[in-house]
Structure 1
Amino acid sequence: MSNLFQFPEASHVYQQSEVELDRELGVATLNMAPQPRPAFTPELLADIEAFQKEVAHRVRQQPQRRSPDIRYMVLASNLDGIYNFGGDLSRFLSLIRAGDREGLLGYALACVRAGHRFSVGMDLPLTSLALVEGRAQGGGLEAALSCNVVIAEKGTQMGFPEVLFNLFPGMGAYSYLSRRIAPSLAERMILSGRLYEAEELYEMGVVDVLAEPGQGREKLVEYIAEAEKHSSVHGLLRRIHSSHNRVPFEELRDITELWVDSALGLGERELRTMERLVRAQDRRTGQKLSRAE
C-alpha cells in the first residue's frame, strides 16, 4: 500500500505491532508482531484495543464528511509465514495450574472484546478485514473470522488445534463460523483439529477472497478499490449484517465462561499436550523474523 503513515498524535505506544494509515485508500492497518511467540499476548491485546479506539475516535471526529479518512481497518501480521497462533498457551498453563479463574477469564474476555469490536466495526461505518498471509491457528483464526472480510493467500493453513488437548476454541470460533457456514459444518471443522488450506476454506465459504502466494497486500488494495466503486451496496449490506447477523457480545461472553471452566478442569495429560504445542510453536518461530527486519 502507498502513502503509509503511523498515527500522529496517538498517545498509546505500540509495543508488539505496527500501525499504518493510508489516507488515499481510507485504510488503517495493524500489523501484529507479538513476542516471544506469535500469540495474543497482553501487550498485543493492548495494542489492538488502542488501535480500535484510535480508529473510532478519528471516524467520530469527521461525521460530517461523506468520505472519512478511515473507512477500513485491517488486521494483518508482520511475521513471515505466520498470522497468529492464538491464545497464549504458556499463560494458559500458568493460570490453569494456579486455578486462577479470574485471571483466565480476564484474559479470555480481553480477546473476546477485541474480536467483537472488529466484528461490529465499532458500530461505525467501518469495514474490518483480516489479511491472512501465514498460518492462523486457534485464536488467530478466531480473530480473522471476527473481521467482516477474510482475505487469505493460497496455500495458507488455518485450523483449530484445541481438540488435541481436549478443549474447544472458546473465544468466538463457533459464533463467527456459524454465521458464515452451516453450524454442523462449523462443528465438524472445530472437532477435526486439522489444518485446512485457504483454497478449501474458500470453497466452504469461510474465506472471502483468495490471493496468490505473496500477493495478499496487492489483493487487499484491489478488493478495497472494487468495494469503493460499489460503496452504497457495501454499506447497505454492512447495515443488514449488523442488524440481522450480528454476533452479540453476550453470546461470546457466555461461551467464553464455558471455555474457562472447561480449561480449569483439564488434567495433567492435556496440560502436557499443551506444553508440547508451546515447544512446537517455539521451534517453528525460532528463526522467524519480522517483515520489518
Structure 2
Amino acid sequence: MFFSRSIVPAALSAGHREALVPSPAPLQLPLRFDNLELRLDAPARTLWCTMRPQGRPSYTLELMQDVHRMQAATVEFFASHHAEKGERPADWFVTNSAVPGIYNLGGDLAHFAERIRSRDHASLVRYGHIAVEAIHRNSIAFDLPLITMALVQGDALGGGFEHALSFDMIVAERSAKLGLPEILFNMFPGMGAYSFLSRRIGRRQAEELITSGRIHTAEELHAMGVVDVLAEDGEGEATVYDYIARHSRKHNAHFTLQRARRRVDPVTLEELRDVVEMWAEAAMNLGEADLKKMGRLVAAQERRLASLASPGYANAAE
C-alpha cells in the first residue's frame, strides 16, 4: 500500500510520465521544479514542499503540473529509500509558500474568464479534473505513511484555501487570511471546499462560510474548527517544528487516526470530479457582469503583487 509507484498522473504528457519512471539509483532530495521545491529535513523526519511560483501565485496549470510531479517524486523517494534502507524516510509532510504574505490566491481567474467567453466548457472541466486529482492525492497523504500539514503564513483564497483544506492539518499564523470569494462573482468553489469543510465543521457552517464570501483571519477559523493549530505571526515554521517534536513519539497513533478518518468519512476522487463538473456547468451560466467582477478580482491580485517589493519577491523565489 505505502510504496506503490502508480501515482504518476494520467494528466501529464507521455514525456513527463517517462521522466518519472523510477531509476535504479535512489532518488535524491532536494528536488527543484519550476514552481516548487521538495526537500527533506532528516533530523525532523519531515518533507517540506515550498511553492515558489514563477508568475502569479495562483493555481495555474503550470503549478498544478509541478504538484503532480512532486507527488509522484515523493512516492518514488519513499520507494527507493525503503528499497535501499528498509525504512521510511519521513513521518511528516508540510507544504508552504515562499511568497511573502501569500500562500496561494486561488484559481486562475483570467484563464477561467477567457474560457467562459470562448464557451470552452471542456477546458474548464479539464482544469478542474487536474486540480482535484492533485487535491485528492493530498487528502490521502499520497497513500504513504505520512501526516500532512499546510502551513499558511499569508492569504489562502479560493482554490488556495481548498488546497490547504486537503491536508490532514492546517497550521496558520494568527493574521493569515483565508476565504472563498467566489460568491462575489456568482460562483461557488468547485475544487474541494464543500467536501472538506462539511466534514470539518458540518454542512450548515460550511454553506454559511461559502455563501458569505467573507475573508476570515486564521484566528477566526481556528475558533470555528477549520484551522487546527494557530501560530503567532512570524512563528509558523517554529510552531510546526514544535508540534512535530511534541507528537513524533506517538506518530503511529496519530497516523492511524488519520487513516481511520479517511476510511470512516472519505472524500473520494469521484465526488471531487462530480463537483468539478457542476462547477464547470455553473461557470458557463455566468454573464458579462459576473465576468467583469471576476476581472476586478484579477486586477486586485495584480495590484497586490505589484505592492510586493520586487527585490524581496525575487529573493523569496530563489
Q: Normalization by structure 2: what TM-score? A: 0.86
Which of the numbers 138, 156, 176 marks the counterpart of 1:118?
Answer: 138
What is the alpha-carbon distance in structure 2 between the residues aligned to residue 182 and residue 237 of structure 1?
Answer: 19
Q: CA RMSD in A?
A: 1.7
TM-score w.r.t. the length of structure 1 is 0.93
What does the per-residue CA deviation read over 1:223-252, in whole Å, with 9 as the maximum and x for residues that have no partner? 112221211211220221121122011111
For the Cα contact (< 8 Å) 1:179–1:245, is it kept in 2? yes
2:258 is the counterpart of 1:247: no
The answer for the alignment partner of 1:156 in structure 2 is: 176
Q: Which residue of 2 aligns with 1:177?
A: 197
Secondary structure (helix, strand or coil) at the match of 1:61 reads helix
Shift of 1:13: 5.7
CA contact (8 A) 2:106 2:160 kept: yes
Aligned AA for 1:232?
N
Query: Do residues 32 (structure 1) and 62 (structure 2) align?
Result: no
Q: Is the 8 A contact 1:35 1:41 kept in 2?
A: no
Deviations 1:42-84, CA, capped at 9 Å, x for gaps: 1111111111111111223345767521222222101000110
- 1:16 partner letter: N
Determine helix, strand or coil for the equivalent of 2:116.
helix
Which residue of 187, 190, 208 corresponds with 2:228?
A: 208
CA contact (8 A) 2:91 2:251 kept: no
Q: Which residue number in structure 1 is paired with residue 251 of structure 2?
A: 231
Q: Distance in 2 between matches of 1:139 and 1:186?
A: 15
SS of equivalent residue, structure 1 residue 286: helix
Determine if the alignment matches structure 1 residue 61 to structure 2 residue 105: no
1:221/1:236 Cα in 2 relative to 1: closer, same or farther (>3 Å)? same
Distance in 2 between the 1:82 and 1:232 partners? 33
Any idea what SS the aligned residue of 2:307 has? coil
Matched, 1:14 2:33: yes
SS at match of 2:243: helix
What is the CA deviation profile of residues 70-107 of structure 1, one whole-angstrom value per residue up to 9, with x for unaligned ones?
A: 22222210100011011000111111111111111111
- Report how many residues are paired: 286
Q: Is the 8 A contact 1:86 1:141 kept in 2?
A: yes
Q: Quick check: 1:106 aligned with 2:126? A: yes
Change (3 A) 1:69 1:251: same
Give the aligned residue type for 1:26.
R
Q: Does 1:79 align with 2:95?
A: no
1:134 equivalenced with 2:145 (yes/no): no
* Amino acid aligned to 2:197: L
Q: Return the match for 1:49 from 37, 50, 68.
A: 68
Deviations 1:135-168 (A, max 9, x none): 1100000000000010000011110000000000
Residue ranges of structure 1 left out of the alignment (5+ in a row): 1-6
Question: Quick check: 1:86–1:137 contact (8 Å CA) kept in 2?
Answer: yes
Looking at structure 2, the residues matched to 66 and 186 of structure 1 have their Cα atoms a distance apart, in angstroms, of: 43
Distance 1:208 1:17 in 2: 24
Determine if contact 1:16/1:43 at 8 Å carries over to the other structure. yes
Distance 2:79 2:199 in 1: 28
Amino acid at match of 2:289: R
Cα 1:269–1:173 change in 2 (3 A) is: same
Offset, 1:18: 2.5
Q: Distance in 2 between matches of 1:31 and 1:185?
A: 31
Q: Is the 8 A contact 1:58 1:70 kept in 2?
A: no
Change (3 A) 1:66 1:202: farther
What's the secondary structure of 1:171's corresponding residue? coil
- Contact 2:178–2:217, Cα closer than 8 Å, also in 1: yes
Tell me by how many angstroms 1:114 deviates.
1.1
Q: Structure 2: give runs of 5+ residues left out of the alignment.
A: 1-26
